[in-house]
Amino acid sequence: MANLYNKRGRRFGGTGRKFRSLVLLAVMMLAAALLASGCAGDNDNGNRGTKAKSYGNDGYLGLSNSNPHLLTRNGTQLNYRSDAGLATQQLKTLKGIQQMSISFQGPNLYVTIRPKPGVDEMQLRHRAIGLLRYNMPRYTIHVNTVK
């Protein structure tokens, strides 16, 4: 049979005090970590802690709540009707528009322009985009021209 003892008379590969104390320490640390992780935040089941917050229903998909200091050019009115009026007012300053239509879809502003005969469509379109982007920064501007 093989020799199971070292030169000092201690057993090889056995469960000595040092090994047992390391295992006990690891088990205690794991138990402490599990206990600490059980004290996490609120999951809306009546527990204390933090709650997830969402933006209010402002008609702008949260844009006015997430950017509260982003004002329109004519004040702080935050509704589609006043924004459509502002867009119409600004577009009327451009020469060469025969007819226009404006619609909103969330944070997107869609404008369709019918230019007067003899007006360069691309130049009018680029001027309208620049004007609306400057005056209505909260929207993504889309401008189309039709004949």
**Average pLDDT for the chain:** 78
Identify whether 141 is part of a domain. yes
Identify whether 113 is part of a domain. yes
Identify whether 52 is part of a domain. no
User: Six-digit token pair at 63?
Assistant: 């844009």
Would you state the pLDDT for residue 36?
79
As a whole number of angstroms, the distance between CA 112 and CA 145 comes to 6
Q: Bigger pLDDT: 87 or 77?
A: 87
Identify whether 12 is part of a domain. no
Nearest CA to 142 out of 82, 86, 101, 96 is that of: 101
Q: For position 98, which CATH number holds?
A: 3.30.70.1350
Q: Which of 52-61, 73-82, 105-114 has the highest mean pLDDT?
A: 105-114
Nearest CA to 106 out of 142, 135, 75 is that of: 142
**Each residue of 33-62: pLDDT tens digit?**
888 777 655 555 555 666 666 655 555 555
Pair 115, 106: CB distance under 8 Å: no
Would you state the pLDDT for residue 109?
94
Burial environment of residue 143 by CB neighbours within 10 A (0 to 12, 13 to 18, 19 or more): buried
Identify whether 87 is part of a domain. yes
**Number of domains comprising the chain:** 1
The model's pTM is 0.51
Nearest CA to 111 out of 69, 145, 136 is that of: 145
Identify whether 37 is part of a domain. no
Q: Bigger pLDDT: 125 or 4?
A: 125
User: Six-digit token pair at 80?
Assistant: 């589609």
Q: Bigger pLDDT: 40 or 80?
A: 80
Domain of 108, in residue numbers:
75-145
Pair 101, 142: CB distance under 8 Å: no
Pair 114, 145: CB distance under 8 Å: yes
Would you state the pLDDT for residue 95?
92
Would you state the pLDDT for residue 83?
86
Identify whether 41 is part of a domain. no
Identify whether 123 is part of a domain. yes
